[in-house]
A and B are shown apart, each in its own frame.
Chain A
Amino acid sequence: MTVRIRRWRESSPWLAPVVTFIALFVALFVLPPLVSALASPDGVPQGWLLACLAQAATMVVFALSYNLLLGETGLLSFGHAAPAGLGALLAAQMFNRHAIALPLLPLVGGLGGAAFGVLTALVAARRAGTAFAMITLGLGELVAAAAWALPDWFGGEAGVGIDRGSGPAWGHWTFGPDGEAYCVIAAWCVVAGVAIFALSRMPLVRLANAVRDHPVRAAALGIAPARTRAAMIVWSAAFAGVAGTLALINVEMAAAESVGMSRSAAVLIATVTGGAGSFFGPVLGALVWVAFSVGVASVSRAWMLYVGLFFIAVVLAAPDGLAGVAARQRAWVVRHGWRPAVRVGAAGALACLFGALAFVLAVQWAYAARLRDSNPDAWLATLTPRDAWQLCGALVVLAAAAMLFAQRARRLKRSFDAEETER
């Protein structure tokens, strides 16, 4: 059985990742709504669940499009929200003026994003590295500032709204209800994901990889670095426009914030923490980001601090992101077998758990103490001196436990590595 699977994976290197992607998609975006619909009395999935999943699907496409730049071409962009937001804006204006079926709207958004990508490429494709990052920052800020200066186009504070159900219907589907709109978003997520994967196996992206690794050598081989970068910028902007339109379908509005710096920062953080080096890294990063920005943000005001510190930790300890960590762990398990991996993993997991617990307690305490005046009922906001001392003690104990377990995990891992080299 395993031999057959391995042979199948080797014979078709395309099929395995696509099948994995679709399986992941079904597990994440198809099963939960179905289960929710079956569990609820009226057979309709929970609204908040659909909203969350739609946001996650949008972010997955957005991060995958960003990785065409960062991972494949080595271009760090600080203005990726601009093509997404402008694509969504164009889609919203077209949807309000012409009879375009909702499922075709992301195509319009993609075209809008690509058009902005052409403009970006004209200015920025000749530079790479830090200069490219700063130019995209400038372009992103330009679009963000223009969004506030031109309320007629961007709708000012309120944004440009659409009514999903007002477009032409396909059979019984008007796309007005949440469930039908979610189906459109989910279908586009899988289409865009597979398309980006197919693109990443095309010659163009191979050339982009060459330009990323050594532009001078690539130029000597007859590959024009600027032209390759320009093509990648346009493709990436087009898929960003698709992602922006998916967000538009979800919230029925293209607002000025959707071109802003915070959205660009979100996709950058998601892609880097997930891992720009592999196809599934950005998908993972997008899911982690949505978990933070929806889950953690709903319970804690300190969520941006957690995100920032998590980002710094990833950049310091694993520049190849969570996907890189997973790949390294898998290689280690393959080399040493399951039993040592479980022992090291248990110690490491306990260290992470205790460390995170101590850190979260400390941060929540600090925020609660700081915001005591505005929110006196918050958790940990009002402690008696005795409670405060006990909390301090608990923090010290937790931190010490985390350090001990981390040391133990490191020592175990070193001893297994030493055994391996002896053999």
Chain B
Amino acid sequence: MQAFAIDALNGISYGLLLFMLSAGLTLIFSMLGVLNFAHASFYMLGAYLGVTLAGTLGFGWALVLAPLLAAVAGAAFERALLRRVRPGGSLNALLLTFGAAAVMGELVKLAWGLQPLSARVPAVLDGPLFLLGGAAFSRYRAFAMGVSVAMLGVLWVALRVSQTGLIVRAALTHAKAVEALGHDVPRVQTLVFALGTALAALAGAVAAPLFVVEPAMAESVGSIVFVVVVTGGLGSLAGAFVASLVLGCLQSFAIASDASLGALAAHCGLALPPAWRALTLAQTAPLLPYLLLVAILAVRPRGLFGQLTDDA
């Protein structure tokens, strides 16, 4: 039971980090109609910047400056490149961000080298926060959860209460009408893109001590985040939230469990080929997000909370 609670907490903290990423991605998608393939690259940029800045200026400054720098990079990318290809259709924009992801991966390798970096956790956040029957919940994971929740709360309040938030929400659905009222919609779009990349970079800076900081991290996280947004329904924040938490918990339970597929199948009264029977659930953990995606889409092509668009 205690182990279950710790796994659930770990899963939720991972899920919240995923939601920080997928929230930015979803906001950018609904605002610009572009699925930003380079989103995970901004996450990686945030992680690398976070590690470097934490080494020179300290961890607190890294958490502030890494997202700001990434936001500047994101805004520059949107203004200089993305704006030019968007009239050519959403697939062209997707292709551009795909190329940008490849180039950013190479540039990160050039700037920081191929070796994985080790991120140090500040002394205050090191060690276990509490013990539940022998299983520990680390202080840093709690901190990551706190940062995610606080950031998302601030974002929600800003979107709901402030004047800019009002314009952003209106421009999400009625861009033409908002423009006719005299607001600069392209600037709002740049702002949203920068905000999304800043969220991704913050997630990267927070996640750096939890995961390995290496050039391949963008790919491994990127495809999971895309699974999240498609499973939740493209353009739906609520869907992204539910899918993030489900995926986070699913992964964390699968990794922690020691059951084998054969035992599980025998429990359900199924027989599996020998190649499958020996697999433990933990070994299949990397497969689970994609299996979930396929299962949900087979039943519900629009995703959990998505709307059917004209391309469906």
Q: Does A307 contact B (CB under 8 A)?
A: yes
Pick the contact of B106: A122, A141, A308 (CB < 8 A): A308
Chain B residues with CB under 8 Å of A311's CB are 95, 98-99, 102
Residues of A near B310 (CB, < 8 A) are: 215-216
Q: Taking A149-B287, A312-B81 as contacts, is the C-beta distance between A305 and B92 under 8 angstroms?
A: no
List, in ascending order, chain B residues with CB within 8 A of A305's CB.
Answer: 103, 106-107, 110
Chain B at the A interface: SS class: helix
B265 at interface by CB-CB < 8 Å: no
Contact A145 B287 (CB under 8 A): yes
Contact between A319 and B102, CB atoms less than 8 A apart: no
Measured CB to CB, the closest approach of chain B to A140, in angstroms, equals 8
B260 within 8 A of A: no
Chain B binder among A39-47, A123-131, A334-342: A123-131
- Interchain CA distance A332-B6 in the complex, whole Å: 68
* A residues 109-145 touching B (CB-CB < 8 Å): 122-124, 126-131, 133-135, 137-139, 141-142, 145
A315 touches B35 (CB 8 A): no
Measured CA separation A110–B226 after assembly (Å)? 29
Residues facing B in A131-182 (CB within 8 A) are 131, 133-135, 137-139, 141-142, 145-146, 148-150, 152-153
Which one, A127, A138, A150, contacts B276 given CB within 8 A? A150
Tell me if A272 is interfacial: C-beta within 8 Å of chain B. yes
**Does B294 reach chain A (CB closer than 8 Å)?**
yes
A122 pairs with B290, CB closer than 8 A: no
Instruction: With A127-B301, A145-B286, A149-B287 as known contacts, state yes or no: A138 contacts B226, CB within 8 Å.
Output: yes
Residues on A with beta carbons closer than 8 Å to the beta carbon of B230 = 131, 134-135, 138
A366 at the interface (CB under 8 A from B): yes
The complex places the Cα of A128 from the Cα of B293 at a distance, in Å, of 16
Output the least CB separation between B255 and chain A (Å): 13
Chain A residues whose C-beta falls within 8 Å of the C-beta of B301 in the assembled complex: 126-127
Q: Answer whether residue B91 sits at the interface, using C-beta atoms and an 8 A cutoff.
A: yes
B138 in the interface (beta carbon within 8 A): no
Taking a contact as CB atoms under 8 Å apart, the answer to whether B99 and A315 are in contact is yes
Q: Tell yes or no: A25 within 8 A of B by CB.
A: no
Instruction: Please tell me if the beta carbons of A138 and B312 are within 8 angstroms of each other in the complex.
Output: no
Residue A367 lies at the interface, judged by CB distance under 8 Å to chain B: yes
Is there contact, CB below 8 Å, between B91 and A316? Answer: no
Asked if A237 lies at the interface with its beta carbon under 8 angstroms from chain B, I say: no
A142 touches B290 (CB 8 A): yes
Specify which chain A residues have a CB less than 8 angstroms from the CB of B294 in the assembled complex.
Answer: 123, 138-139, 142
Q: What 1/0 flags go to A350-371 for Cβ under 8 Å of B?
A: 0000000000000000110010
Determine the interface band of chain A, counting residues with CB < 8 A from chain B: 35 or more
A332 → B minimal CB distance (Å): 21
**Residue from A122, A129, A146, A148 within 8 A of B298 (CB atoms):** A122
Is A304 positioned at the interface, with any CB of B under 8 Å from its CB? yes
Looking at A138, A272, A319, the one whose CB has the most chain B CB atoms below 10 A away is A138
Q: For residue A138, which residues in chain B have a CB less than 8 angstroms away from its CB?
A: 223, 226-227, 230, 289-290, 293-294
Contact B234 A304 (CB under 8 A): no
Q: Which of B257-312 contact A (CB under 8 A)?
A: 274-276, 279, 283-284, 286-287, 289-291, 293-294, 297-298, 301, 309-312
CA distance A261 to B312 in the complex (A): 25
Question: Which residues of chain A have a CB within 8 Å of any CB of chain B?
Answer: 74, 76, 122-124, 126-131, 133-135, 137-139, 141-142, 145-146, 148-150, 152-153, 215-216, 261, 265, 268, 272, 302, 304-305, 307-309, 311-312, 315-316, 319, 366-367, 370
Identify 18 new A-B residue pairs, CB closer than 8 A, beyond the known A130-B94, A131-B311, A308-B103: A74-B91, A129-B90, A129-B91, A129-B309, A130-B35, A130-B90, A131-B312, A133-B91, A134-B234, A138-B226, A138-B227, A138-B290, A145-B286, A152-B275, A305-B107, A308-B106, A312-B99, A370-B110
List B residues at the A interface (Cβ < 8 Å). 29, 35, 81, 84-85, 88, 90-92, 94-96, 98-100, 102-103, 105-107, 110-111, 113, 219, 223, 226-227, 229-230, 234, 274-276, 279, 283-284, 286-287, 289-291, 293-294, 297-298, 301, 309-312
* 7 pairs, CB–CB < 8 Å, chain A vs chain B: A129-B90, A130-B35, A138-B289, A138-B290, A145-B286, A312-B100, A319-B88
